[in-house]
Each structure stands twice: as C-alpha cells, then as structure tokens.
Amino acid sequence: MVKITLPDGSKREFNEAPSGADIALSISEGFARSCVAMEIEGVLLDLSEKVADGAAVRLITTKDSEALEIMRHSAAHVMAQAITNLYKDAHLTIGPVVEGGFYYDIDMEPLGEEAFPAIEQEINRLVKAKLPFTRKEISKEEALERFKDEPYKLELIDGLEGTISLYEQGDFTDLCRGPHVPHTGLIKAVKLMRVSGAYWRADQNNAQLQRVYGTAFFDKKELKAHLHMIEEAKKRDHRKLGTQLDLFSFHDEAPGMPFFHARGMAMWNALLDYWREEHLKDEYVETKTPIMLNRALWERSGHWENYRENMYTSNVDGFDYAIKPMNCPGGMLLFRMKSPSYRELPYRAGEIGLVHRHELSGALSGLFRVRAFHQDDAHIFMTPEQIHDEILGVLKLDERIYGTFGLDFHLELSTRPEKSIGSDEQWEKATEGLRSALDAYGKGYVINEGDGAFYGPKIDIHIKDAIGRTWQCGTIQLDMSLPERFDLSYIGADNEKHRPVMIHRVAFGSIERFFGILVEHYAGRFPLWLAPVQVVLLPMNDDLLDYTRQVKKELEAEGLRVDVDARGESLKRKVRDAQLEQVPVIVTIGEKEREAGVFSVRTLDGKVTYGVSREAFLSVVNADIRSRKNESVPVFG
C-alpha cells in the first residue's frame, strides 16, 4: 500500500505507486483536467512521474502561479516543432521562458513577421492534436547519436554529464529538464509576438540566429487582455511621451545618463517636494554624502568584493576611489559621528543621492535602466526592540505615498542569497524581524527565497500601475552586518555602548525609474499638482500679450507653473496643442476677459467654464494642488 499526503494534510492510499495524474484523478475528473504538474519536496515534476510511498505532493493546477511558466515552456517546444515542420533546414538551439512569454533561438533563414500566420496555423494544428509530452532519460552517448544532425544540441550535450533527459511530442524531440504539461491541448492560446537577431551564446563571432518570441495563456480571454495591455503600453511608452512632453532626453555623450529638461525638472521638483513633506511628517532628517569615496570605504562595506564589476573607479593622488553605486556607506560615516543615546533612537536619515552603476549597453532602457540615477535612500538606526514598529512605520509611509498616485502594491519577503555577508544568527534574527512586522501589517505577502541583498533580507514592494503592470520600487532591508563593519554604536540605558540595528529603505527607489513609471501610469496626463505645466494662458491676439504676461507673473507668484502661448497661431490650434501637451488647465484671454478681470477656463475633459474670477480660479486650483488629488481634471463650475 502506497500512502501520499496532500497540502491540506489529507492522505490518499494506492495499491501501487501512483503517478501524479492518478492522484489528481482520485480527487475528481474535473480537478484532474485542470492539473498541469506536481511538486514534491520543492521540485516540480511531470504528472506522469511515479510517486513514492510517504511523499507529500502538491498538485499544480492552471490557477497556480507556476502553471503559466510550465505551460509556456511547453509552448516554446510546440513553436519549435511548428517551425521545424515548415522550415526543414532550421536548427534549434535553446528556448527559455522569459517574462511575459518565451522565445526560441533558431539557426534558419531570416524570418519576418509575415511568416507568423502560417507558423501559428501549424501551432494550432499541433495543439488540437493533443500530443502527449513524454519524458525519456538516456545516456550521453545515446543523446549524441540521437542529435547527430543538430550541431547546437551536440554542443549542449557535450557540456552535460550523466543521464540526459529529453521530451517527445509526436515526431518532435528536444533536450529538456522539464517539466511539461501533460499534452499540447492544454496550450489554449498562443501568439507569436516578434522576431529579432541573436548570436549563439551571445558571442558575435558565432552564427546569427533568429530569436522568435511568443506568448501563451490557458484562456483566449487572457491572451486578448494581454495583447490589449501591450498596445496600451506602447501608447504610454515613457520614452515617446518624454520627447512629446519635453521632459527628458538621452545623448550619445553620456550613454545611459538622462538629461532632464525644464519641464521635466518642474515635475521632478514637485515629486521631491512631496517626498520631503511626507518624510518630515515621520520625523526623518535629510542628509547628503559625497559622490566619490575612497576604496577602503567600499572594502569595509563589502561592496568592493561583492559589487566591484558594476562600479566606476578612478585613481586620485595615488589612491583608488569609486563613484558610489549606493548611498549606504556614507550614511554609516555620518551616524558614526553621532554615537547617540538610546533616547535619540530611532534615528531616521534620508538622502536623495546620485549613484552610478555600470550597466551593459544592451540593457539600457529609457529611464527604466540607466547608469546614473538618484535613490531616495533612508537609513534608520534603532535598538533591537524598535525593529517591529519601525518596519511597520515604513510600510505605512509607503502605503501613504503610493496611494497618492493611485498605485496598489503587493509585498515579497526575500531571504538570504548564496552570496552574502554576516552570520547565520544575524540573518535569522533579521529575517524573523521582517516576517513578524509583515504579519502584523496584515497585507498578504509571498516568500522569495534566496533573493535578499548580500547584506540582509528585505521586503520588496511591487506597485501596480493603471494598466495592471507591476513594478518593483520600494524595498525595506534589515541589516545587522554594516553597523558591525563600521563599528556603529549608541549609548544604552546602562551607559554602555551597544550595536544598533539598521534599516535600508527606498520608497521611489530609482527616482528616474519611478518618474518613467508615472509617465506611463498617467499616460502623460498628470494630476494638477504634479503636471510640469499646470496652467497655459492663450491670448486671443498680440494686443493681449503684455496683459497675459502680467497675469502669468501674478499666477506664478501664487506658486503655479504657468506658460504663455505667444505664437501667432489660431486660438483653435493653440487649444489643440495644449491638449496634446496634456496641460490640465487652459485659460483663454480675450478683450472681454481683460476688461472684466476674469478667465475662460478649459480642462482636459473638454469642459469650458466662462467668467471665472481670479479669486475663484485660485481657490479651485490651490485647493486641488494642496490636496494632491489624483484626478487630472479640476472642477471650476
């Protein structure tokens, strides 16, 4: 008799070792149809695998997070099969799952997107055939014989040792560790996305391959929603809007280092004014540390050993220096000067620090991946007893900040990575401190094993934008190592020195990246308080220009960001251009408005309100800005 245990603690008995499919079927036929794989002792396996007596089994259904990746892995195999069916001279290399889908690198004739319909038709034929995915394990010698006509597979096999696994579906065979869905029929919705060039093993001396990207879902409605999101994301691309709205640019003279224009700086400063206001409420102080520091500091912090390849360095007066990739070590020096009493803790110090990190040129992507950026770092020094409350305080601050922009978020607890510093005891205490605070906060979270910083575990905060995309921005890292490395201390109630515990945390993260996220989140249509230009004044003729410029000065004296469109274009054209620039408030000034001292006000929803007095105008606009409303349309009447 073979006994297995399910996640809910229930047990099932079988006369002989069951497969995962047998276990699923023992629950119900409907449940079995939704299963794609299983997990035993943390390892994902095919449903066809036999399960040993006493095993704890978790069946993976289409509703589980792992299921989509498994199915997309299978879809990559089906796409490769379809392409090799249609292009007999094609030679396969590798086909991994990536964010949003999968790709396969193939040595074949140049492929254009016009070929996609025929390939998708062949994919659909293979899907309808419900071909089983069958795992086989063979020796290295057998594998070399089996793939003797596939040069890239032979190269891969040559680097493997021991038993080699492969998968078959129909007459197609591929090297693979698995697992896969039971049959091709579970791949309900497949779409080829694009094709690009790629070199074998990323070496330009090797053959150039065709990298064919695709995506797949269990449901056609999910695919349709995904494609809609992609189209919406194209419209919101911050690089395009950044140029259109005159916010920022990039130049060959400084690759990966953004230039912010006057309008971009107006939005930048509004963002940082808000940051400072919220941090002041929580009793943070603001500090500033140098951009370049001596190598000895980076060796002491551990960055030289663990992060050297990403740091820009220089030699000054015979000494090695590094431009800071992080603000932390400078913050340690500032705290060390204080040696405060326990009565002065927690000590919360924030810094808008400019950092530089070397990124490969191919990885650069607008404001999302740059080489020079600002981090809204903060370092909180505390007693061990204060850990719980301080982490809760940071979570509540982040909730307040993200809520202002209408951004929801979810949380992940990332644990110790393989490459780390500090003792086992320090890591255990730090991880438990984060876990207990998360439990008290009450918002659900997931465990992200092995993804912590090299100096401590962390809470990652993933925000969700207006079209449902998620971005990792905020992070809270509990560090018991750096205070020790820098010999930091505070004077306790016993009048003795004690080691503080420290939190590293960011809310925006990279401010440049958060800026880009906001551009796409709002599609350039920012709320009034954040808009680069809050009010544009449109004089109806040149005779009104002097009066309009005087109005501009008066509104600017009230703290508003105001432009005047002095071009000799028609009023209709000026209004249209202001709408394209997403200016929240458009004020038309004619002779009647000058004589009566009133405004004609147009907002982005197309509503026009005539005869608005200056007092009423300022009352509405200032109230909207003070409250930092997330809507982009103030109401004047």
The residues assigned a catalytic role are 328, 357, 375, 377, 379, 458, 504
| Token pair 């004047």: residue | 636
Sign of CA dihedral 342, 343, 346, 347: negative
Q: Are the beta carbons of 434 and 445 closer than 8 angstroms? A: no
Q: How far apart are CA 298 and CA 327, in angstroms?
A: 11
Q: Are the beta carbons of 197 and 168 closer than 8 angstroms? A: no
Per DSSP, 115 falls in state G
Q: Are the beta carbons of 520 and 547 closer than 8 angstroms? A: no
* Residue 98 CA to its chain's centroid (Å): 14
**What does the buried/exposed string (b/e) look like for 56-83 if buried means 16 or more CB atoms within 10 Å of the residue's CB?**
ebbbbbbebeebbebbbbbbbbbbbbbb
Phi, psi of 518 (to 5 degrees): -65, -40
Q: How far apart are CA 469 and CA 233, in angstroms?
A: 9
The pair of structure tokens assigned to 35 is: 């299963």
**Degrees to nearest 5, angle at CA 220 with 216 and 224:** 85
Taking CA atoms, 22 is separated from 28, 32, 38, 43, 110, in Å, by 10, 8, 12, 18, 45
In 293-441, alpha helices (H): 295-301, 303-307, 328-338, 387-404, 424-441
Q: How far apart are CA 509 and CA 355, in angstroms?
A: 12
Q: Residue 1 burial (CB < 10 Å; 0-12/13-18/19+)?
A: exposed
Task: Quote the radius of gyration of the chain (alpha carbons, Å).
Answer: 30
The pair of structure tokens assigned to 523 is: 């599609």
Provide the residue type at 628 as one letter: R
Helices 511-521 and 262-281, interaxial angle, to 10°? 110
Sign of CA dihedral 131, 132, 135, 136: negative
In 3D space, the residue among 306, 310, 334 whose CA is nearest the CA of residue 322 turns out to be: 310
User: 155: which residues sit within 8 A by CB, 6+ positions away?
Assistant: none
Q: How far apart are CA 479 and CA 85, in angstroms?
A: 55
Terminal C-alpha separation, the chain: 78
- The β-bridge partners of 473 are none
Q: Are the beta carbons of 72 and 101 closer than 8 angstroms? A: yes
Q: How far apart are CA 394 and CA 507, in angstroms?
A: 9
Sign of CA dihedral 606, 612, 614, 619: negative
